[in-house]
């Protein structure tokens, strides 16, 4: 299983309605602010696991909802 690490950002409710260019610019600003805030990014466990098999376009089978039922690849998150 290939797993990356991700920073999860809270976006405004209307984020998905923006153009791709505006989404990228907004995400860049949010990520920069997150990194600049010294209370974040202090340890690797703050980065969320990102199963690469779930990234759209990476694996053809991930278009089926049942694909995500495989607990070997997609585990419940930390609590």
**Which ranges of the chain does DSSP label H, i.e. alpha helix?**
20-36
Angstrom distance (rounded) from CA 54 to CA 35: 25
The pLDDT value recorded for residue 75 is 75
* pTM of the complete model beyond 0.85: no
Domain that holds residue 32: 3-69
Residue 11 lies in a domain: yes
DSSP, collapsed to helix, strand or coil, labels residue 38 as coil
Structural domains in the chain (count): 1
What is the maximal distance between C-alpha atoms in the chain? Answer: 40
Instruction: State the number of CA atoms in the 13 A half-sphere of 34 facing the CB.
Output: 15
Reported as a single tens digit per residue, the pLDDT across 16-73 is: 999 999 999 999 999 999 989 888 877 777 788 888 888 888 888 888 889 888 888 7
Residue 62 lies in a domain: yes
Answer whether 5's CB lies under 8 Å from 47's CB: yes
Residue 21 lies in a domain: yes
Residue 16 lies in a domain: yes
């Amino acid at each position: 299983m290939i797993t990356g690490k991700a920073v999860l950002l809270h976006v405004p409710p209307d984020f998905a309605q923006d153009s791709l260019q505006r989404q990228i610019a907004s995400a860049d600003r949010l990520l920069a602010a997150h990194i600049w805030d010294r209370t974040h990014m202090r340890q690797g466990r703050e980065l969320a696991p990102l199963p690469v098999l779930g990234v759209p376009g990476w694996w053809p089978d991930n278009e089926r909802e049942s694909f995500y039922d495989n607990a070997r690849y997609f585990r419940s998150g930390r609590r």
